[in-house]
Structure 1
Amino acid sequence: MRPITAIGFDADDTLWQNEQYYRLTERHFQKLLGDFGDGADISARLLEAEKRNLGYYGFGIKGFTLSMIETAIEVTDGNVPSRTIGEILDIGRELLRHPVEALPHVEETLRSLNGHYLLVLITKGDLFDQERKLAQSGLGDFFDAVEIVSDKTATTYRRIFQKLADGPERAMMVGNSLKSDIVPAIAAGSWGVYVPHALTWVLEHVDAPTEAPRFRKIENLGELQRVLTEVMAV
């Protein structure tokens, strides 16, 4: 009985670039509202709106766009020009068209693991946007299953790995978010392999579970095979 038979992969900023496009859009948003406040204050107000709205809109570009509109109304005391609202909608739509840029070592890693483990893409966010990015990435054929979820919790990972694989104890989750990919996967009983990204949304920041026996950290996906070899030898 192999200790690991299934590997889950996060998508955004684990397989391909994502956060950098949000940062560019936020800077554009700051400029649009430059007459009503400084950039740092506008970003802080936007973050507060995002926090409030997660329970209503979930994660993804559509919720981000609605939060920008809400912020624009707030910082202008309801006097935001209709043209500015239109420009906010335009930059939100532009986010939905951004190119898919794979991160280093992604394709060769997935290719080497394909057929040896059950590979599952586990991502959260807007359904259409995640499906678009997966299709444009050309990576879809490497995965045995795709799960697009509203949030990532220990219950989420337990359900997915019980349904598709041999349970969470014999699964590994790989991702760039400690909060969404690593901590809950370990809580579910899986291994968690953290692949840091230079840009990670502030709401995804938590302390690394360095004391957890099933926690590992690598610098890029090219190091994943080494971790698997070590785990398999335990």
Structure 2
Amino acid sequence: MEVDFSNIKVIGFDADDTLWVNETYFRDTEERFAELLEDYETKNKVDQELFKMEMVNLDIYGYGIKGFMLSMIESALDLSNNQISQTTIAQILDLGKKMIAHPVELLDGVEEVLSKLVNRYRLIVLTKGDLLDQERKLEKSGLSKYFHHVEVLSDKKETNYSNLLEHLNIDVKEFLMIGNSLKSDVLPILNIGAKAVHVPFHTTWAHEMVSEEDELVNNHLKLNSLKDILKYLDN
């Protein structure tokens, strides 16, 4: 579709599953978690209850691996009727620690895109999650040099974006957001009058799913790969 990016001066990038792989590791850990609880419930039941627990705890722990770890432990206690062993609790903690320590795996074309855009636009990272973990991943990624500013938000709603753009003195008409989530990276951006580009990742967390009606929003650009943005910006 035709989208005019001629006024864009600042580009915001989501981090998880836009710059580097993230959701895949959560899914892998969920598989291991279900195996640890196979004596108590079926995998499907464990998955359902863990997701419910994450939603209950979201306002308390926020997004990220640490909150996920705590939700796994709480789910294990509930599903086992508090019979889960200390050994299994330790194994659950180890699953989370392995996620935190996992090497950062950049998505295809990320550094090429950033290196070509950095001298023409002001680039910033707008992500949500645990501050320490996101700072750690950015440092491990080697991408810090490309970004003018990094912001870890508690959530990505219209108010969060509007307040941040105002704080950074960014004109909403000159801002473009690029991310993998329609719910977090595209729809709220469109609602405040900025532009957005959707680059789907092959795996999406259930909490980030949107309705079919929302998916039909047609005033944003959808790309198969982040590298495709160069066709619209690097000219």
Alpha carbons of 1:122 and 1:195: their partners in 2 closer, same or farther (altered >3 Å)?
A: same
Matched ranges for 1:138-149 at <5 A: 138-149=142-153
Which residues in structure 2 correspond to 1:47-126 (within 5 Å)?
Answer: 47-126=51-130
Out of 205, 208, 212, the residue aligned to residue 209 of structure 2 is: 205
Q: Deviations over 1:142-195 (max 9, x none)?
A: 001000111111112112223324322210000001111111111111111000
In the other structure, the counterpart of 2:39 is 35
Q: Which residue of 1 aligns with 2:3?
A: none
Return the letter of the residue paired with 1:94. Answer: K
2:228 is the counterpart of 1:223:
yes
Are 1:105 and 1:222, in contact at CA under 8 Å, matched by a contact in 2?
Answer: yes
Which residue among 31, 44, 50 is the counterpart of 2:48? 44
The gaps in structure 2 that reach 5 residues or longer are 1-5
Structure 1 residue 186 corresponds to structure 2 residue 190: yes
TM-score, normalisation: structure 1: 0.94
- Shift of residue 209, structure 1, vs aligned partner: 4.9
Q: Distance in 2 between matches of 1:75 and 1:85?
A: 13
Give secondary structure in 2 for the equivalent of 1:200.
coil
Identity of aligned residues (%): 43
**How far apart are the structure 2 equivalents of 1:102 and 1:112?**
16
Which residue does 2:131 correspond to in 1? 127
Q: Indicate whether 1:172 and 2:151 are aligned.
A: no
- Using structure 2 for the length normalisation, give the TM-score: 0.93
Give structure 1 stretches of 5+ with no counterpart.
none
Count of matched residue pairs:
229
State the partner residue of 1:20: 24
**2:146, 2:205 → 1: CA distance?**
27
CA RMSD of aligned residues (A): 1.6
